Chains A and B, each alone.
Chain A
Amino acid sequence: MAEVRLTIDGRQITCDENKTVLEAALDNGIYIPHLCYHEDLHPNGGCRLCVVKQEGVDGVITSCSTKVKEGMVIQTKDELAERIRKLSCDFMFKTHPSECTGCPKYGKCQLASISQYVGDTGRNLREMKIRASADESNPLMLHEMYRCILCGRCVRACGELRGVSALKFAKVDGRMRVVVDGESLAKADCRFCGACVEVCPTGSIRDKVGVFREDLPRDLSLVPCRGECPAHIDIPAYLRAVNEGDCDKAVAIIREKVPFPHALGLVCNNRCEDGCKHKDLNSPVSIRNIKRFAAEHDETQSWKEKYLKVDDRTGKKVAVIGGGACGLTAAYYLNKKGHDVTVFESKNIPGGHMTSGMPEYRIPTKAVLDEIKVIEDSGVQIICDHPIDNAAELKKEFDAVLVAIGTSVGKKLTYLPGSDLPQVYSALEILQAQRLNKEIDLGDTVNIIGGGNVAFDVAGTAIRMGKTVNVICLEKDASQASPEERDAALEEGTNLFDSHSNEAILGDGKVTGLQVHKISSFHFDPDTRALVEEPIPDSTYVIPCDSIVFAAGQVTGLTEDFGIELNKFGYPIDPSTGASGYKTSVDGVFSAGDVITGTRFLIDAIAGGRDVASLMDQYLGGDGLIDETLTERCADPYIGRIDGFAEIERNEMTERDAAARKMDFAPVSEGFTCDQASCETGRCLQCDLRLQLAPQKFWNDYVAVGEGGEQ
């Protein structure tokens, strides 16, 4: 890399010989106006704003496309150059709407910023407004080409940088315009990467309002899947790795944020997919199933060496109460930060709901234990069959304690007559009994009260135990549950009694049936949370059964004996806020996961575990930085053209027939095939590529750099 010396505006500058005059000037805080130049694109030379005077050369030179040469003497504020700039600005403004304040790009427009710097001559040139109407036909991007000043950055970004060329120049009524190369962006095989929006200096090509959240930092907002994920997993990066056939790398990327890739791939409620922009084109990318594919094809586990490496020991001791997803996640990171972590699990197996609160056919125990094994390998000690009665007492032996016991006690509706009969269970009791091989007396027919996902988890489990299963719920169509889980259970033979309310559990020493009536509507009183229903007269009857299962929510099961302050529902509270939070009433005792949020999803527990680990590390004197990089990123921005890209349909996993799958507890699906995974990852819009592009700068940004440099 040879260097050359040149003089710009009287300043001696030394720079790399491959730089252009414009780059040399900007790097040294000398601003030369420019518009069609973009640091990620090949110089174009069309806007004529960056012209400068080179001593010994007639006229002006184009600084963005002229390489520096030894001994060059450049004047950026030459009179002719400034007159040409002003003329170019005059010309562009004659084609551009004169009113700035109504423009959504107002205040962020490079054209306005440049005209402010360059100035106006007030020449009597003619108005040449562009007659183009706004094109809002695409759900993601909108084109208002009457604002376009033809810098061509979008065309070059789409063509040179992405290899897509969905945008091109064309003459419309004799005038040059940027147009879509086809009837619509979709028909032009646009990949919807957003590069055109990112480079547009004016308000001509923009993201539609509402496509990206405005309440998140840029790197999360522009990559909505990552933004929606509570743990902010770098989703586009791992989809890309799977697409390249590198599942080890994909798992490394997932593990940078969560220690349970496989478990999440099986049961995550995939809020990332709600963010996926592809849903506006047809349907979101099947992110969760790709994660499962990656976790199940992670053969060499090349991430492991880095993953198991831990910081120097701090000598601090941490106790984690509860070996579920939240506790184990926190344990992993706290151990990584150098603290000695012991996890106390009350059951005979760690994993919390993953191993005992969800059906085996949704999340096999082995998959979970394999992932917990990695956490143990990193140095975390897990002690099972070891319930903790009092967190405050435990704190005396440890430097910090985390209460992550989740909500592990199933609620029973005790006001219902007969709820004290022996064959009345909570959902968790059934699920745990099955997972942990405990005897349970269900009889032949099980009536499940409740209409959420857990009710159908129990239904699926009971069906596989060979029972006749009835689900009784208030909601029409069991609308509280996800349609997929409801339908799967119904296919397997579960009977649904929707719009039903319960009156009493019948039986004398042994359950014989559930007395119910039909309702036409219901709601919960906003003040007392009591059920208010509209019964259908004379609809009372009995659904016979041998056992009753309440799928009516779960609670912490904590009492005051636990040594920390609780609210009236049994959740720990942070006295400084009066609400549940990561801190508790006892200094050094923290809480996280379901135990503070109520029953949520796996990913929430893991995200909570990360957050609390960071907080606890700081409490213990660390820096709280738990983000790690397990693999390098190398995203190729040249994504190329794919015929019919926007119309590629979402892949769905092939599931076993209901008749076959209800016979055992094996997984419902084998997961994606290699072809499906490859196709599905190929559907990703790669929103993250946009972050590679240099953000737009304004003249004051460069001048500020220069002043800083001189000091």
Chain B
Amino acid sequence: MEKLLVVSALKDDCYQKNAAHFLEKHLEDVKSGAEKFAQMSGAKILFLLPEGVKAEGLDNVRFGICTPTGDNPYSCAQQLKGNLPRPMIQDDYIAEYEGNEVNVITVESAYWLAKGTDIKHITVNGEVKEIAMGTKLSEVVDAADAKAVLVGGLKGRLVLPEQLGDFEVSTDFLYDSVDVIPKTACIVDTLIKHLGNTWNYSCGKCVVCREGTLQFKTICEEMVAGKAKPSDIDLLKEVGELIKDGSYCPYGQNWPQAVIDAITLFADEFDAHIRRKTCPANVCYQKGATYVILPDKCTGCTDCIDECDEMAIEGKKGFIHMIDQDMCESCGKCVEACDEEAIVIVEGKMPKLPKKLTRVGKF
């Protein structure tokens, strides 16, 4: 079988832009590295680039979508055939495309082959930096005011700024990006966006990654809609660990860690979202904050009770109505239903409210 060497620039994700940088700044090095590699096996070279990337000066170019499995030969062969990428991880498996045996080299490996391994490219907050081996991440990123740092993007970890010194750049460094999460950010909100990306980049081949990303994204979304339960935290941790063990490819084996990191490091913030339905960073729950029924204004008419879809309002005719904060979705429909203007959003201190059913006028 003829050999085909695919030079893949598809291993980027939404956090890292290293491949585009290699193509833009180090194209000659990438080409010569790839040629060196191809000569060893007598392979033809084909460049597989993300859609939209300029390919001037390259002969045999095809386009695909960025994927965590952009370095897997079967995954690349699938893209060449016009299919969605999905990896094949087997000792003796030979990926095939148009009768050729497909081998893959990433643009980074090609670059290293040409230039040696002195420099590692890392995308820091969206900008590609060339970093000397041996450098500690704490020297690369200024994280003094950060809440946390996402090291390695979709396949990475979430760490506190003071942990950055533990990461030293080397050739087998697993992480290609560093993103600082500012103090003002809500960790739950950040995680939801992160999980949206994680889900999007899951190739869908294996059940636990495909369904796990969707479940995690959905459960975290429920945390800011007041629907999640305190037990969901343990659920995420337990299932997250199992997904790490049970996933087919390194992507699935790695992405749950950032989620576990987040809920471990910022347990209080998650708790606030789930139990108290508040966002300490004031990012989530902006739609209605906390609603209460003022006991001196409520006439016990039950109009708001009828209006509430969540059955979150307790009371009966002639008794002061009360909102069960655990059930309230902050939709605000009760406010409109109340003719007495008795239902308000609390800002700051909670007013004194009845704890049990109390007749109107007796509180």
Q: Write the A111-129 contact mask toward B (1 if CB under 8 angstroms, else 0).
A: 0000000000001111010
Residues 200-224 of B contacting A (Cβ, < 8 Å): 200, 204-208, 210-212, 214-215, 218-219, 222
Verify if B139 is at the interface (C-beta below 8 Å from A).
Answer: no
Q: Write the A42-61 contact mask toward B (1 if CB under 8 angstroms, else 0).
A: 01111110010000000110
Contact A88 B218 (CB under 8 A): no
B218 proximity list for chain A (CB < 8 A): 126, 128
Contact A126 B219 (CB under 8 A): yes
Q: Write the A166-191 contact mask toward B (1 if CB under 8 angstroms, else 0).
A: 00111100111000000000000000
B263 to chain A, nearest CB (A): 16
Contact B232 A91 (CB under 8 A): no
| Separation of A91 and B205 alpha carbons in the complex (Å) | 13
Contact A48 B232 (CB under 8 A): no
A152 proximity list for chain B (CB < 8 A): 205
B212 to chain A, nearest CB (A): 7
Q: Which of A92, A171, A176 has the most CB of B within 10 A?
A: A176
Q: Write the B239-259 contact mask toward A (1 if CB under 8 angstroms, else 0).
A: 100110111100000000000
Verify if A84 is at the interface (C-beta below 8 Å from B).
Answer: yes
Known contacts A47-B207, A48-B206, A94-B211; decide if A87 and B86 are in contact (CB<8 Å): no
Find the A residue at minimum CB distance from B200: A174
Contact A45 B242 (CB under 8 A): no
- The stretch among B7-15, B87-95, B310-318 that forms the contact with chain A is B87-95
Known contacts A44-B205, A48-B248, A87-B246; decide if A92 and B232 are in contact (CB<8 Å): no
Known contacts A126-B218, A169-B86, A171-B84; decide if A84 and B232 are in contact (CB<8 Å): no
Q: Write the A281-321 contact mask toward B (1 if CB under 8 angstroms, else 0).
A: 00000000000000000000000000000000000000000
Contact A88 B239 (CB under 8 A): no
Find the B residue at minimum CB distance from A169: B84
Verify if A559 is at the interface (C-beta below 8 Å from B).
Answer: no
A60 proximity list for chain B (CB < 8 A): 245-246
B101 to chain A, nearest CB (A): 16
Known contacts A67-B92, A124-B231; decide if A92 and B207 are in contact (CB<8 Å): yes
B262 to chain A, nearest CB (A): 19
Within the complex, which residue of A43, A48, A95, A171 is in contact with B208, where a contact is CB–CB below 8 Å? A48
A48 proximity list for chain B (CB < 8 A): 206-208, 246-248
Contact A128 B208 (CB under 8 A): no
Verify if A694 is at the interface (C-beta below 8 Å from B).
Answer: no
Contact B215 A125 (CB under 8 A): yes
A621 to chain B, nearest CB (A): 57
B205 proximity list for chain A (CB < 8 A): 44-46, 152
A600 to chain B, nearest CB (A): 53
A126 proximity list for chain B (CB < 8 A): 215, 218-219, 222
Find the A residue at minimum CB distance from B222: A126
Contact B90 A51 (CB under 8 A): no
Within the complex, which residue of A44, A62, A150 is in contact with B204, where a contact is CB–CB below 8 Å? A150
A128 proximity list for chain B (CB < 8 A): 211, 214-215, 218
Contact A171 B239 (CB under 8 A): no
Contact B246 A88 (CB under 8 A): yes
Verify if A19 is at the interface (C-beta below 8 Å from B).
Answer: no
Q: Which of B92, B232, B239 has the most CB of A within 10 A?
A: B239
Verify if A440 is at the interface (C-beta below 8 Å from B).
Answer: no
| Separation of A67 and B93 alpha carbons in the complex (Å) | 11
| Separation of A65 and B212 alpha carbons in the complex (Å) | 22
Q: Write the A79-110 contact mask toward B (1 if CB under 8 angstroms, else 0).
A: 01001100110011011000000000000000
| Separation of A133 and B208 alpha carbons in the complex (Å) | 25
Verify if B199 is at the interface (C-beta below 8 Å from A).
Answer: yes
Find the B residue at minimum CB distance from A85: B246
Find the A residue at minimum CB distance from B239: A87
| Separation of A176 and B199 alpha carbons in the complex (Å) | 10
Within the complex, which residue of A47, A84, A168 is in contact with B242, where a contact is CB–CB below 8 Å? A84
Contact A150 B210 (CB under 8 A): yes
Within the complex, which residue of A67, A84, A95, A125 is in contact with B246, where a contact is CB–CB below 8 Å? A84
Verify if B83 is at the interface (C-beta below 8 Å from A).
Answer: yes
Interface size band for B: 20 to 34
DSSP majority for the B interface? helix
| Separation of A88 and B207 alpha carbons in the complex (Å) | 6
B247 proximity list for chain A (CB < 8 A): 48
B204 proximity list for chain A (CB < 8 A): 150, 169, 171, 176
Find the B residue at minimum CB distance from A124: B235
A290 to chain B, nearest CB (A): 33
Contact B211 A67 (CB under 8 A): no
A176 proximity list for chain B (CB < 8 A): 84, 204, 210
| Separation of A149 and B92 alpha carbons in the complex (Å) | 28
B222 proximity list for chain A (CB < 8 A): 126
B210 proximity list for chain A (CB < 8 A): 91, 150, 176
Contact B206 A51 (CB under 8 A): no
B68 to chain A, nearest CB (A): 15
Contact A45 B239 (CB under 8 A): no
| Separation of A613 and B244 alpha carbons in the complex (Å) | 67
Contact B235 A87 (CB under 8 A): no
B212 proximity list for chain A (CB < 8 A): 91
Within the complex, which residue of B83, B89, B208, B231 is in contact with A87, where a contact is CB–CB below 8 Å? B208
B152 to chain A, nearest CB (A): 20
Q: Which of B89, B218, B245 has the most CB of A within 10 A?
A: B245
B210 to chain A, nearest CB (A): 6
Q: Which of A60, A66, A92, A124 has the most CB of B within 10 A?
A: A124
Verify if B229 is at the interface (C-beta below 8 Å from A).
Answer: yes
| Separation of A128 and B212 alpha carbons in the complex (Å) | 11
Find the A residue at minimum CB distance from B253: A59
| Separation of A355 and B200 alpha carbons in the complex (Å) | 73
Find the A residue at minimum CB distance from B242: A87
Find the B residue at minimum CB distance from A86: B242
Contact B83 A168 (CB under 8 A): yes
| Separation of A84 and B215 alpha carbons in the complex (Å) | 16
B245 proximity list for chain A (CB < 8 A): 59-60, 80, 84
| Separation of A168 and B86 alpha carbons in the complex (Å) | 12
Find the A residue at minimum CB distance from B229: A124
A169 proximity list for chain B (CB < 8 A): 83-84, 86, 204
Within the complex, which residue of B200, B231, B235, B246 is in contact with A51, where a contact is CB–CB below 8 Å? B246
B92 proximity list for chain A (CB < 8 A): 67
Q: Which of A44, A51, A67, A91 has the most CB of B within 10 A?
A: A91
A66 proximity list for chain B (CB < 8 A): 90-91
Find the B residue at minimum CB distance from A125: B215
Q: Which of A46, A60, A80, A88 has the most CB of B within 10 A?
A: A46
| Separation of A67 and B91 alpha carbons in the complex (Å) | 8
Within the complex, which residue of A45, A47, A123, A168 is in contact with B235, where a contact is CB–CB below 8 Å? A123
Contact A124 B242 (CB under 8 A): no
A123 proximity list for chain B (CB < 8 A): 235, 239
| Separation of A60 and B242 alpha carbons in the complex (Å) | 11
| Separation of A168 and B199 alpha carbons in the complex (Å) | 20
| Separation of A473 and B40 alpha carbons in the complex (Å) | 86
Known contacts A45-B206, A87-B208; decide if A62 and B248 are in contact (CB<8 Å): yes
Hey, which bits of chain B sit against chain A, CB under 8 A? Answer: 83-84, 86, 88-92, 199-200, 204-208, 210-212, 214-215, 218-219, 222, 229, 231-232, 235, 239, 242-243, 245-248
What are 16 A-B pairs with beta-carbon distances under 8 A? A45-B90, A45-B205, A45-B206, A46-B205, A48-B248, A65-B90, A66-B91, A84-B246, A88-B207, A91-B207, A91-B211, A123-B235, A125-B215, A150-B207, A168-B84, A176-B84
Having A46-B205, A91-B208, A128-B218, one finds 8 other A-B pairs with CB under 8 Å, namely: A43-B90, A46-B207, A48-B206, A87-B208, A91-B215, A125-B239, A128-B215, A174-B199
Give 6 nearest A-B pairs by CB, closest first.
A176-B204, A91-B211, A84-B246, A46-B206, A88-B207, A46-B205
